[in-house]
Structure 1
Amino acid sequence: MVVGGGIAGIQASLDLAEAGYKVYLVEQKSAIGGHMAQLDKTFPTNDCAMCIVSPKLVDCGRHRNIELLVDSDVMGVRGEAGNFTVRVRTRPRYIDLDKCTGCGDCANVCPVIIPSHFDEGLAVQRAVYKLYPQAVPNAYAIEKRGIAPCRDACPAHQRAQGYIALIREGRYEDALRVIKEDNPFPGICGRICNHRCEDACNRGKLDDPINIHALKRFITDKVYAQPRVPPEPCERKYDERVAIIGAGPCGLTAAQDLCKLGYAVTVFEALPVAGGMLRVGVPEYRLPSWIVDREVQDIVDLGVELRLNTMVENLDDVFAEGFDAVLIAVGAHEGRMLPIEGVDLDGVMVNTVFLRDVRLGNPPDIAGRRVMVLGGGNVAVDVARTAVRLGAAEVHMACLESRERMPAHPWEIEAAEAEGVQIHPSRSFKRIVSDGNGRVGGVECLNVTFMQFDETGRLTLETEPGSEHIIPCDMVVFSIGQRAGLAFIPESAGVGITRQQTIAVNPNTLAATRPGVFAAGDATTGTAFVIEAVASGHRAAESIHRYLRGEELEPE
């Protein structure tokens, strides 16, 4: 074994090989040549360095007795003279040496620019590179330094660094293609994602993180402004059929993945439109309907069968129709009310019904009325800002949390206040007061002095004695959370339900307690963000594929 692929190591390897020995030449870099390959001239003869080393590179690369171990490090040596055992670690090159012809096409399209190793940082190179033109092996390698923090922070592991590099080069359609490899809803996430990638962005340590979600929106706006080209339908490779209950982001992501794998996929949706809460739970001003409809259609065009206005009432009926696996991805469409006095008064609604009615063209008549939204999350802000747009005379928000601890994003709260929404933090709700005619007249509140949820979701609440006060209003909208509608799963279905009214699944495989049934998204976790639903859909599709192929769901 010769350690070091410079001119000395090359010459030693050639001499030993010519003497009949098997030689292993170990080199840290992606090609042999060492420092001499970097030089212009040699001292003291002033000869061309490459003219001297190049023939030896060729001889070394072609010699039958020499095996090159590039991208390798010697980790340890054991034994004695004449009988050594060497432990060598070879780093991944990400390009197959046996297949690479050195044509350079990969480097021509690589968008990632890094300092050049060969030129000691004085020039730049692509992340896909050949160390120098005469390199041996005559093959390219990829410089990869682990996982980018933005990608690691994203539940769907979106390759932000890749599509941002493509944006820099003006390759917008390529950037969209890279985004869609991990996330079928770029236009949606570019508008409403909670962008954890930006929280992890290394640029934030210097000044401000890169505005990643805005770049995603820029790409979709740019490409979607062009005429739409439908994707090619996927080839059917397997006989098995998969049913997915729920056409939200989780169910549609899984449908896309399974369709690309070669399965027949049918999505059942109870509503007249697909998209789940993205379509009926997010206001138009935040997420235009055409964006959702386009990205749903991109999935349907792959060959997914979409059955709208089709409510599943019994799992047994689904299996009886000939489906081999079922994914429950119904989402959290049922709003919750507090068990307080007055919830049966005329003028009391829940957030999901309010937003759904508005999105489906049947908004409540609240023009000139005073609206109180109970809750402090992002959905509560959506309800309040929608009420403003419907012409409400006054819009109020009241919540348990203090202004600093409200669960809504700070920029959402600031936008609501800018539109005239009055926020009443640190309030507990005692009862809804009647106006004497069976309608809402106000909400009686108490000032909160302490509140905290434990790890099980149980609330500890302390209020100020004698702080009762009434906030007048004509309409109350509860926005204190949502849950999945699981009424179609009776006990006899064999699918376990948790105390939190979610579907019990193996967290590693998303398999439910009944064979062939899987569940993902909000149906298993409670209300979450869209990117988490996308990630859950990917995982569910992987498990369903393993199940249908008879593989272990939890491979070792």
Structure 2
Amino acid sequence: MENSNTGTVIIAGGGITGIRSALELANSGFKVYLVEKAPAIGGTFSQLSSAYPDDKPAFCRFAPDINAVYRHPNIKIITNAEISRVKGEAGNFEVKVVKNPLRVNENCTACGDCMRVCPIKPYDTFNEGLILRTAIDIHNSTAYPFLYNIEKETPICVETCPVHINIRKYIGLIAEGKFLEALKVIRERNPLPAICGRVCNHPCEDACNRGKIDQPVAIDALKRFVADYELKLRKEGKSFLPKPPEKSKHIKVAVVGAGPAGLTVAHDLALKGYDCTIYEAAPVPGGMLWLGIPEYRLPRDIIEVEVDYIKHLGVDIKLNTPINKDFTIDDLFKKGYKAVFLGIGAHKGLKLRVPGEDDYEGFLDCVVFLRRVNLGDKSKPGKKVIVIGGGNSAIDSARTALRLGSDEVYILYRRSRKEMPANPWEVEEAEREGVKIHYLAAPVKILGSNGKVTGMLCTKMRLGKLDASGRRRPIPVEGSEFEVEADCIIPAISQRPDISFLHEGHGLEISRWDSFVIDKNGATNRPGIFAGGDDVTGPATVIEAIAAGHTAADSMDRYLS
């Protein structure tokens, strides 16, 4: 709704205060728009069965005010609506109001049959979730208008999913045997369904209400199923890629980094009609999907299939083409790109900051180790390998070392199993395969001889009070030092972005963690440059990187429109 006339007032909220304010302003000669997000005005107070000692329904107390609002010629009521945008200045605002359907359909006669047979029963938030209601019901039987309406909740799984896939819808389609339709729903929010079906940490399942009864719905496995089903049909020539969208915008956009965030940005903008090019420094696409995740967890043909789908949309991916001090971000703008997205990830391993870590052969960071293996070097790292850390990278490194033929592989972690950030199922798999995990121990010094690693001096730890991460802080136990032998030590304690590619005078705001500083829309301090994913948050999950890509793509579209 847009109105530039003076003397017009918009009130957000149709409760008691909103109703009486509307009447006062309307009686003073103003044109009033009363916007209420619920299907009926009256607010929460009007729904109470009793609010006064005389035991009369609360609605009766101000029914005359509600009637006066509906009859007043200067008041227009807009229910089931929300204000989505406000622009302008005092005295001259432009307001956009999004209105949702009020009735189930235009033929509704308030018979109540739909309510009696409705299969969806979300928690009743009005009653603090103590009881269930039907998704289709009467918002307030004492209020006006008296209409049945659909007021669905957002399922907890959808709320928890960083990209907010319509999980309920795609699982319903799978149940009906409509597998390709289900995949289409998934791809509306997730351009990498086969990848996420294998490596997603699925927070949706952690939140699933079914888990309170027995076990969560296998949301991630179902996503993988429909993605693999479509892949099988494609290999058999029974399913084909969609028609590439037209590059209707005639605007060039550059994406730096072909990781999940960068791929998502290119995917979204290509669908919007932009001409997208991805510049990738590595010889392979995918970022950490290819370089950091072992092949036993994520087969390379799956990455290729997902990337091919995005390339089919018209996205050009230039491999072995780094942005650096010789070919800078500024050069991209000179080549005609109107916006740039930085999705370089976090590929620089953190130092242990202990003596000896830079002195001996056989000491290599997990990022270097996994990258080397994933690019084809299958040589054994050592006979006895110690991995330091408790995250997924540590687990991946340990399991990879076993697969390459190491005789013994240990993980050294300074906290207990409870505080370990790695996916619990990955830890269980590692132990089942033979990885030995030593908890409450930390390195003190790297030991070596003749230029090669021979072992490590460690100390035992105990847990103190909670730190900023919400976990108990590890504290060294005095006098508990001990030595362990090893011919290969792999630290996997975290990573940060490698910003050495930036040229002098780049002008971007960088945090003390070498990450890009952005606003809530993914925009950096330089106009036209956006960022998202691990180069903003530090090491996170694939699905979080995809979510960041969606946010940045939407922001870039607004910037370029």
Counterpart selection for 1:310 from 304, 321, 328 = 321
Q: Is 2:502 aligned against 1:492? A: no
**What does 1:48-447 correspond to in 2, within 5 Å?**
73=40, 75=42, 77-78=64-65, 84-85=71-72, 90-91=79-80, 118=113, 121=116, 143-227=150-234, 229-313=240-324, 314-343=328-357, 344-366=359-381, 369-434=383-448, 436-447=449-460
CA distance 1:439–1:545, shift in 2 (3 Å): same
Aligned residues: 454
Q: Name the SS for the 1:121 alignment partner.
A: helix
**2:447–2:454: 8 Å Cα contact kept in structure 1?**
yes
TM-score by length of 2: 0.75
CA distance 1:459–1:328, shift in 2 (3 Å): farther
**1:315–1:488: 8 Å Cα contact kept in structure 2?**
no
CA distance 1:281–1:541, shift in 2 (3 Å): same
CA distance 1:428–1:183, shift in 2 (3 Å): same
Q: Which residue of 2 aligns with 1:31?
A: none
Measure the CA separation in 2 of the matches of 1:143 and 1:79.
23
**1:198–1:212: 8 Å Cα contact kept in structure 2?**
yes
Q: Is 2:475 aligned against 1:475? A: no
CA distance 1:275–1:536, shift in 2 (3 Å): same
**2:156–2:208: 8 Å Cα contact kept in structure 1?**
yes
Measure the CA separation in 1 of the matches of 2:356 and 2:150.
64
**1:280–1:359: 8 Å Cα contact kept in structure 2?**
yes
Q: Name the SS for the 1:493 alignment partner.
A: coil
Measure the CA separation in 2 of the matches of 1:432 and 1:371.
13
Corresponding letter in the other structure for 1:362: D
Measure the CA separation in 2 of the matches of 1:73 and 1:440.
73
Deviation, 1:94, is 5.8
Measure the CA separation in 2 of the matches of 1:182 and 1:81.
45
Measure the CA separation in 2 of the matches of 1:458 and 1:513.
33
CA distance 1:223–1:94, shift in 2 (3 Å): farther
Deviations 1:244-265 (A, max 9, x none): 0000000000101111111111
Q: Which residue of 1 aligns with 2:531?
A: 519
Deviations 1:308-348 (A, max 9, x none): 00000121221121111111000111222212222120101
CA distance 1:144–1:181, shift in 2 (3 Å): farther
**2:118–2:135: 8 Å Cα contact kept in structure 1?**
no
Measure the CA separation in 1 of the matches of 2:260 and 2:152.
32
Q: Which residue of 1 aligns with 2:15?
A: none
Corresponding letter in the other structure for 1:240: I
Q: Name the SS for the 1:412 alignment partner.
A: helix
Measure the CA separation in 2 of the matches of 1:236 and 1:82.
50
TM-score by length of 1: 0.75
Deviation, 1:372, is 0.6
Measure the CA separation in 2 of the matches of 1:396 and 1:79.
71
CA distance 1:453–1:490, shift in 2 (3 Å): farther
Please, which runs of 5 or more residues in structure 2 have no aligned partner? 1-37, 43-62, 82-98, 122-133, 137-147
Q: Which residue of 2 aligns with 1:547?
A: 559
CA distance 1:451–1:307, shift in 2 (3 Å): farther
Q: Name the SS for the 2:364 alignment partner.
A: strand
Deviation, 1:452, is 6.5
CA distance 1:123–1:164, shift in 2 (3 Å): closer
Deviations 1:46-94 (A, max 9, x none): xxxxxxxxxxxxxxxxxxxxxxxxx954635428899944986644796
Q: Which residue of 1 aligns with 2:91?
A: none
CA distance 1:297–1:432, shift in 2 (3 Å): same
Q: Name the SS for the 1:327 alignment partner.
A: strand
Deviations 1:194-236 (A, max 9, x none): 1111122121222221111111111112221112522211111
**What does 1:528-539 correspond to in 2, within 5 Å?**
528-539=540-551
CA distance 1:79–1:460, shift in 2 (3 Å): closer
Corresponding letter in the other structure for 2:178: R
Measure the CA separation in 2 of the matches of 1:274 and 1:426.
38
TM-align CA RMSD: 3.2
Q: Which residue of 2 aligns with 1:510?
A: 522
Q: Name the SS for the 2:468 alignment partner.
A: coil
Which is greater in Rg? 1
Measure the CA separation in 1 of the matches of 2:187 and 2:440.
42
Q: Name the SS for the 1:173 alignment partner.
A: helix
Corresponding letter in the other structure for 1:526: G
**1:489–1:495: 8 Å Cα contact kept in structure 2?**
no
Q: Name the SS for the 2:512 alignment partner.
A: coil
